[in-house]
A and B are shown apart, each in its own frame.
Chain A
Amino acid sequence: MNADPLRRGCRFASNAGLVGTILALMLLTGCGGDEQEQVVLYSSLNEPTARPVIDRFEEKTGIRVIFQGDTERDKTVGLVQSLLEERHRPRADVFWNSETANTVRLQREGVLARLDPPPDSAALIPDAYVDPEGYWFGFAARARVLIVNTDLVEEAEMPNSMWDLTDEKWRGKAALVRPVTGTTLTHMTALYEIIGEEETNRFIQGVIDNECHLPPGNGRLAQLVGQGQIHFGFTDTSDFRLVKNEGYPVIAIYPDQDSIGTMLIPNTVSKIRGGPNPENARKLINFLLSEEAEEILAHHPRGHIPLKPDIDRPEEVLVPGDFEVMEVDFQRVGEQITTRLDQFDRRFR
């Protein structure tokens, strides 16, 4: 009966806190349950880019897509970490990755499920962009191009090869994103497969010796080139197009057309093993791999490159055939990525 008044006070405060928290939760969550069919999509693509495709899927199927994305600043780390930590009790159905490396790594960690039989819409995707075992499928790619500021670089001097980054005449004027994440990491890792250990190391040492700038992301690199702080650098076609659309004096050069070709990195989609909505996951994957989704992404201001033939697209969106494409084994690249990541982290200090 005679409980300590302070304890009573504490209990009162705790109860008030509990009631307050419940009220806040009710306010924050809104009222009532949600009976609508749904599918949970984790995507490393930023939401504004993915949204038109998602909206179309929702419109066609009536299935609500719960979108969990990432930011440029966090560079997919949070998203991949969530998928790994949730693997014993998965909360996602589909993983839409803007590149391939993390997809392959998640496959190796047992996070992904095999799609057997493959989705109908995957039929026309070139073999190079599909996992032979059916764990992931590529679509809507980006090319790794050299973005060049046309106010700073004369037409006669235009760079046209990755080796221009190591050319003495561009000392301190070129840029490459520090290759510890995203498409730059995939690109640099792929070089080991394409031109071999020795040549890739020579290229990387050349980039370091030539005092290339190392911006935090491809979007930032493209902005810096557009603003004239850097003459040129490697970026993705999607980031180039954003800067071009802003009216900056830039052009994109598809490098190494006479030798190894230009790297093309597809978006990848895969099903999460044990996800809560397997049927809807299949429907969403089927839609993402459809001609319609590739067409929407091609017409997006970021201009993704369709991998399927005969997709309607703006004429400035070039497709394989308009330029030589580097032949990459994405599975092998994904398998090597952790080792290379550590090497790059040490060399680009």
Chain B
Amino acid sequence: MLIVVVVLLGLVPVGMAMADLFRRPAEAWSALVDPVLWPRIGTSLLIALLTLAFMLPLGLMMAWLLVRTNLPARRLGMMLIPFPLFLPPLVHVLSWFGVIPLSGIPAIVLVYVIAFTPFVVLLSARSLEQISRAHAETVQLMGGKRAVLLDDLRHALPAATIGGVLALVFMLGDFAVADFLTSVGPKVTVYADTIYVHHLAQRSGAAAATAVPGILLCLVPLIWALRRRRQLGATVDPRFERAEPLTLGGTRWGLLLLIVIYLLIGTALPLISLAWQAGSWTTILEQARGASDRIMFTVLLGAAAATGMVLLALPLMLFAQRLRRAWWLDVLIFLPLAVPPLILGVGLIRVWNRPLLDAIYLGPGVLLIALIGRYLAFAALPIGGSIERLDRSMLDAARLAGAGRFVRTVRITLPLIASTVIAAWCISFCFTLRELDTLIMLRAGQRTLPFHLYSNVVFARQEDVAALALILAGVTIMPLLLYLAIARRAIRFL
């Protein structure tokens, strides 16, 4: 039943849109053999690989420093590290493009590294937290510090790869950052531009065909990483004791500075720059008042979607525990995220623009469906990860004492993963507030704050746009701040 819901929400719209591949095979084939396509995929891959080349070592290092060492204020650092992720890349661009005279591929890579590195940090950190004291001590005795480092890397790499794939999804689907950052100087046209041009020329078969390489590029490493992660995550010591942090010595202040600089560039600088561009509190308050209906609608929509995602992900991931090969379920959940947003929008129209479904199609219902279908992976990944890592001995003891599955789930599993569920809700909420391209095709999507912001970019006064971007950033980050204030611990993403 749950699988049916997932299929209905995310996969049926994807299937309806991708069906154009078979309805217009000649158009699809000519799009795939078009000599323009592959160099653009090459450019996008170059940008993605350069980003990953910086992002993976940086993210892994930060995760390792924050989890496995005695870095000062590492708890606080871990709490603050997700913030750059929740500012859309275009907000990063709007906030400090012009402050730094950078353009072209280096600028694009820089924006992506800043915006997406938290994916790698959060996911790797979760893996590194699972290294037990006994395991770490054994590795150190066998091979010294070098062996510890290599073993830590081996543990963190699959999770870091999943982080890289999540970043890859967003990079491959984005043309706005490249377009904006090459306004001056040599133009960089990317893979997403080609999909966009096919849409513009009303060649739906070509657009669907062009999306296929991107989907495969995301899914292949994801499947590898998910399988590896499940293999590593399957052995949790019931007497788990976290490994002692490694001593850094005098270098730890310098390394702390690196993380502080990252957080300053990734969070403080954009927010300060936007506030400076907005000019005054009056502008921000005026914009907030003018957009109050949209803010309320967006917050309610995001909250409803995040709640829906968590409520769906929870039983789904419990069910996944019973499967021998659960990675395929992750892939099913992940697929709608890998599909370009315009294609998902087309699919949603085809599925829901039908007699008797007006209440859903013309109202916020279809937006909820779109958001839950597209971003379910962001709730499922952390919840699934937490369930996998539960201490089996407690569940076994409860089972032997006669507790049924439901009782074990409600009395043991849920309390143990409650903080992850709340964190998953926060993550899901934040990502729903970034969505624009799918929602723009649906009528109720016009009532959202991101639509209001982007329909004002260029046309409104620069200070008003900055104020709106600041409001969007504030609304996006608010649940995360609340979570950190109440839970006083970092969010868990896997």
Interface residues in chain A, defined as those with a beta carbon under 8 Å from any beta carbon in chain B: 4-6, 8-10, 13-14, 16-17, 20-21, 24-25, 27-29, 46-49, 66-75, 77-82, 84-86, 89, 91, 105, 109, 178, 180-181, 213-217, 219-221, 223-224, 227, 229-230, 239, 242, 246, 302, 338, 341-342, 345-346, 348-349
Q: A81-B346, A85-B346, A216-B179 are in contact. Are A341 and B458 (CB under 8 A)?
A: no
Chain A residues whose CB sits within 8 angstroms of the CB of B393 once the complex forms = none
Q: Give the docked Cα–Cα distance between A72 and B451 (Å).
A: 11
Closest to A230 in B: B184
Of the candidates B189, B201, B368, B461, the one whose C-beta lies within 8 Å of that of A338 is B201
* B185, A48: Cβ atoms closer than 8 Å: no
Closest to B176 in A: A73
Interface of chain A, main secondary structure: helix
Q: Give the docked Cα–Cα distance between A46 and B407 (Å).
A: 54
* B404, A71: Cβ atoms closer than 8 Å: no
Does chain A have a CB within 8 A of B353?
yes
Chain B residues whose CB sits within 8 angstroms of the CB of A242 once the complex forms = 458-459
Interface residues in chain B, defined as those with a beta carbon under 8 Å from any beta carbon in chain A: 1-2, 5, 36, 39, 90, 98, 176, 179-180, 182-185, 187, 189, 193-194, 196-197, 199-202, 297, 300-301, 303-304, 307-308, 311-312, 314-315, 318-319, 342, 345-346, 349-350, 353-355, 361-365, 368, 404-407, 409-410, 436-437, 440-444, 446, 451, 454-462
Q: A24-B303, A28-B304 are in contact. Are A9 and B454 (CB under 8 A)?
A: no
Contact sample, A vs B, 8 pairs, CB 8 Å cutoff? A4-B405, A5-B407, A29-B363, A46-B455, A74-B454, A341-B197, A342-B201, A349-B39
Having A82-B441, A213-B184, A215-B184, one finds 16 other A-B pairs with CB under 8 Å, namely: A13-B315, A14-B311, A28-B300, A48-B456, A48-B460, A71-B454, A72-B454, A74-B437, A78-B440, A85-B353, A85-B441, A181-B200, A224-B184, A341-B200, A342-B201, A349-B36
Q: A21-B304, A73-B176, A213-B183 are in contact. Are A9 and B406 (CB under 8 A)?
A: yes
Q: How far is the CB of A346 from chain B (nearest CB, A)?
A: 6
Q: Give the docked Cα–Cα distance between A348 and B200 (Å).
A: 16
Chain A residues whose CB sits within 8 angstroms of the CB of B410 once the complex forms = 9
Q: Give the docked Cα–Cα distance between A190 and B202 (Å).
A: 20
Chain B residues whose CB sits within 8 angstroms of the CB of A221 once the complex forms = 183
Chain A residues whose CB sits within 8 angstroms of the CB of B456 once the complex forms = 46, 48
Q: How far is the CB of B339 from chain A (nearest CB, A)?
A: 15
Chain B residues whose CB sits within 8 angstroms of the CB of A24 once the complex forms = 300-301, 303-304, 307-308, 364, 368
Chain A residues whose CB sits within 8 angstroms of the CB of B303 once the complex forms = 24
Chain A residues whose CB sits within 8 angstroms of the CB of B197 once the complex forms = 180, 341-342, 345
Q: Give the docked Cα–Cα distance between A105 and B179 (Å).
A: 25
Chain B residues whose CB sits within 8 angstroms of the CB of A338 once the complex forms = 201-202
Chain A residues whose CB sits within 8 angstroms of the CB of B454 once the complex forms = 71-74
* A72, B318: Cβ atoms closer than 8 Å: no
Q: A71-B455, A216-B180 are in contact. Are A10 and B315 (CB under 8 A)?
A: yes
Looking at B2, B342, B443, B458, the one whose CB has the most chain A CB atoms below 10 A away is B458
